[in-house]
Structure 1
């Protein structure tokens, strides 16, 4: 038997490339993505793709509306930065 995550992550929901990211965005956001990517220096293109991939993942999150409502209502559970840092250190992950 293997452990399953409580909140399964679907990394393939949005492919980690310009085409996949653009397909997940709509209208003006897609154009903003392309403008930013085309204006980026080659050494900055990776950071632009990572940022917009995160945006696309949020935009396509099936529970996104529920999370937005909880955040606006003040009922969204939160975790402090100190807790995240401690968790990463315990797991032997980098903290930078």
Structure 2
């Protein structure tokens, strides 16, 4: 008997099965075409699945494109020193 899915907490995503069809279904049409082309000529299908599965999982998080664009442009970055200062007990 299948166990019903529990509601997701904010920021959580459902796991995508690591199969060609599940990954393809989770990708945008443009990415899906590139993924399918790579799978059809892959010498190492596991490596292709690993890379595209991670991409499909990260695409589920809203705002990914903006975060990637901002990071590549150097916007909104936090220094390691600032992160360490936040972690220090007060």
- What TM-score comes out, normalization by structure 2 length? 0.59
Question: After TM superposition, which residue ranges in structure 1, 4 or more long, deviate above 6 angstroms?
Answer: none
Shift of 1:68: 3.4
Long gaps (5+) in structure 2: 1-10, 81-90
The alpha carbon displacement at 1:55 in A equals: 1.3
Q: Indicate conservation of the 8 Å contact 2:13/2:61, yes or no.
A: no
Q: In proportion to residue count, which structure has more helix?
A: 1
Alignment: residue pair count: 70
Per-residue displacement from partner, 1:3-34 (whole Å, max 9, x unpaired)?
A: xxxxx66461x222111110111212101101
Give ranges in structure 1 of 5+ residues lacking alignment. Answer: 1-7, 80-96
1:69 and 1:40 map into 2 onto residues whose CA distance is 29
Query: Could you say what the CA RMSD is over the residues aligned between the two structures, in angstroms?
Result: 2.6
- The TM-score with structure 1 as length reference comes to 0.56
